[in-house]
Amino acid sequence: MKFHDYKFLIFSDLYRINADLRTSTLIKSVIFGNETYQYNFWMRTCAYTRGHKLLKFFLYPVSKFILNHYEYKYGVSIPYDTDIGSGFYIGHFGTIVVNNFSKIGNNCNISQGVTLGMANRGSNKGYPEIGNNVYLGPGAKIIGAVKIGNNVAVGANCVVTKDMPDNAVVVGVPGKVISFNGSTGYISNTV
């Protein structure tokens, strides 16, 4: 990852969370405790510094230590090497688990209790792929090689084990499409 990519990601996350792109807001959010932004910032910093030829020896160990602290503090397990697009937003913390081979698109909201997990057998063997502008409600579970389209809203405690089309609203166990109103109203401050 190049520095301009890293900078774009940290500022796009900042805008999604605070609707503000000032450097002073970034510094306040990292130092004084915007929890969502703190986690995102250190996750992105780990990904950037790990691939840098010099920073991986000095800044990476520090950023990894800080990220591990926030993982335990907030109950979140999103590996720094997960493919996550710009404008990532964690609505609430607690028991969020994302497999590092999962893919998450741009401007996605993830809530407490969400799992993006691997299926290691059967027709869905593999990892989830989440599209752009997707809202994952509290307790949602996306399991296996499932593709969630763009602008999809996945309801609370929904278990999705099949591909979902663009603009779907998915609820239930197993997840079923109930409308095509999508994630409108759930996703704000997009980049």
Higher-pLDDT residue of 34, 27: 27
| Both structure tokens of 21 | 């792109």
pLDDT at 103 over 90: yes
56 with 108, same domain: the answer is no
Read off the pLDDT of each residue in 83-91 and give the average, rounded to a whole number.
94
125 — phi, psi (to 5°)?
-60, 125
- Nearest C-alpha neighbor of 141 from the set 162, 167, 168, 120: 162
91 in a structural domain: yes
Read off the pLDDT of each residue in 130-134 and give the average, rounded to a whole number.
97
123 with 163, same domain: the answer is yes
pLDDT at 191 over 80: no
Range of the domain at 112: 83-179
Domain stop point among 56, 75, 94: 75
pLDDT tens-place string over residues 58-80:
999 999 999 999 999 999 999 99
pLDDT at 35 over 90: no
| pLDDT for 168 | 97
pLDDT tens-place string over residues 136-174:
999 999 999 999 999 999 999 999 999 999 999 999 999
166 with 95, same domain: the answer is yes
pLDDT at 119 over 90: yes
pLDDT interval class at 32 (50, 70, 90): confident
CB 64 within 8 A of CB 46: yes
130 with 174, same domain: the answer is yes
Residue 51 has a CB neighbour count (10 Å cut-off) of 14
pLDDT at 89 over 90: yes
135 in a structural domain: yes
pLDDT at 91 over 80: yes
pLDDT interval class at 81 (50, 70, 90): very high
- Classify burial at 173, counting beta carbons within 10 Å of its beta carbon; exposed 0-12, middle 13-18, buried 19 or more: exposed
Domain stop point among 75, 106, 137: 75
140 with 57, same domain: the answer is no
| pLDDT for 137 | 96
Share of the chain above pLDDT 70, in %: 100
| pLDDT for 111 | 95
Q: Where are the beta strands (DSSP E) in 45-168?
A: 76-77, 83-84, 89-90, 96-98, 103-104, 109-110, 115-117, 129-130, 135-136, 141-143, 147-148, 153-154, 159-160
Number of domains in the chain: 2
pLDDT interval class at 28 (50, 70, 90): very high
